Amino acid sequence: MLDPKLVREKYEAVKKGLESRGYPLEFLDKYVQLDIKWRQQLQALENLKCERNKNAPEGKPSEEQLERLKVTANKIKVQNESLQLIEQQVREAALLMPNIPVEEVPFGESEEDNLEIKRYGGVPEFSFKPESHQELAERLGILDFESAAKVTGSRFVFGRSFGARMERALINFMLDVQTTDNSYQEILPPVVVNSKSMLGTGQLPKFAEDSFQLAGTDYWLSPTAEVQLTNMFRDMIIPEQDLPVNVTAGTTCFRKEAGTYGRDISGIIRQHQFNKVELVKLSKPEESSEQLEKLLADAESILKKLKLPYRVVLLCSGDLGFCSAKTYDIEVWFPSQDKYREISSCSSFLDFQARRAMIRYRKADGEVDYLHTLNGSGLAVGRTMAAIIENYQNEDGSINVPEALQGYMGVEIIK
């Protein structure tokens, strides 16, 4: 949620920011109108209540007094109903307004306009035509799409043998690195979350169709551990000296992938269920920009250790996620597709989520303010496995195990 005061006082800046990401300005203006109306109605109600409180009788009121009190009470009731109506509208409008990009975010309309920041590792050269991870994995019998189609449906997969083992190895490896080298606290959260949490991190109300809701309940299958790790701190005031908070979790995530029919239909790039190691930071506002760089470096460190070639792009305004003010995507090289594909997304939300979820901090002088939230994948596990299979393939269809993973896998090669 944007700071309502910011919208009131810096209208032009807000307008410019929202416009840059393609948000329809009539929605903004509608919100502004509602906000003005809401404040007027609020004042009216509060004046009535003030009057009531001033005239409150000490004990039992006389008949005459009672008559007057009833009149006021009725006025309050009517005014309150009118206020509630507008309040609901203004709240809804506010919850549907996206965050404003920070200054350094390049203007652009789509993926095409994202800014490449850096590349790491050369693109591997193969003396043969590299195969897709799906072809390789199915032949090796480590990924089983047929069973998944039968038991569940499309966009699900069974890992088998070293396919199952590598997924587990990667989760352990990633968590070990993040907890040991980069000092995150490891969390094992529920993967089922309630609507309030989904609202806090911005999955609701706008993106309900992207997640699975458990029938007849207020529960959702979490689409990302960002939801759990951020909402853990909902409605809390954290002492300044405890910041930054760094937490990580390896969880299973569930997404409907509505509207992606036909995209990435083969392989494990886009699944309804996947594992991800998530990194979440809570930061003092003045440090969040620096913390985003750290977060990015923490995510990158996994790819470096696995010796996978990647690049980092800074998302343009039009490609930013709803809550994000600034996002770096890390894209790993997929030889079979001859391109880089997203494997991590590292974002700073400023106080946007903190406002929704009421996550604040107390400064040394006692003042309380919203903190900044950040998160990033460190990394998407299935995609990492796919990238390893493709980048480490041999001509005979066997796959070398990256050195960093050999201890976790117990083998040097999968064949």
Partner RNA sequence: GGAGAGGUACCCAAGUGGCUGAAGGGGACGGUUUGCUAAACCGUUAGUGUUCGUAAGGGCAGCGAGGGUUCGAAUCCCUCCCUCUCCGCCA
Residues near RNA, by CB under 7 A: 4-5, 39, 42-43, 45-47, 49-50, 52-54, 56-61, 66, 69-70, 72-73, 76, 84, 237, 360, 366-368
What is the closest distance, in whole angstroms, from the C-beta atom of residue 378 to RNA in the complex? 27
Nearer to RNA, 53 or 127 (CB): 53
Closest approach of RNA to the CB of residue 73, in Å? 3
Write the DSSP symbol of residue 348. E
Q: Tokens 């800014």 sit at which residue?
A: 115
Which residue reads 């490896």 in tokens?
173
> What is the Cα–Cα distance from 341 to 334, expressed in whole angstroms?
7
Choose among 339, 344, 414, 329: nearest CA to 384: 344
Exposure string (b/e) for 71-82, b if CB count within 10 Å is 16 or more? eeeebbeebeee
The distance of closest approach from Cβ of residue 197 to RNA in the complex, given in angstroms and rounded to an integer, is: 12
59 vs 153, beta carbon nearer RNA: 59
CB-neighbour burial class of residue 9 (10 A; exposed 0-12, middle 13-18, buried 19+)? exposed
- The residue (of 233 and 392) whose beta carbon lies closer to RNA is 233
In a 13 Å sphere around the CA of 380, the CA atoms on its Cβ side amount to 24
Residue with tokens 């239909």: 265
CA distances from 6 to 3, 10, 143, 150 (A): 5, 5, 51, 53
Q: For residue 278, which of 302, 240, 248, 241 has the smallest C-alpha distance?
A: 248
Shortest distance (Å) from residue 33 CB to RNA = 14
CB of 27 to RNA, least distance (A): 19
Pick 61 or 124: Cβ nearer RNA:
61
- Smaller CB separation from RNA, 67 or 412: 67
Q: Would you say 53 or 180 has its CB closer to RNA?
A: 53
* Exposure string over 125-160, b if 16+ CB within 10 A, otherwise e: eeeeebbbbbbbbbebebbbbeebeeeeeebbbbbe
Q: In Å, what is the CA distance from 182 to each residue of 141, 212, 279, 332?
A: 35, 32, 10, 21
Q: Are strands 359-362 and 236-239 parallel, antiparallel or unpaired?
A: parallel
Q: Report, as residue numbers or ranges, the catalytic residues.
A: 255, 270, 342, 345, 383
Minimum distance from CB of 349 to RNA (Å)?
A: 17
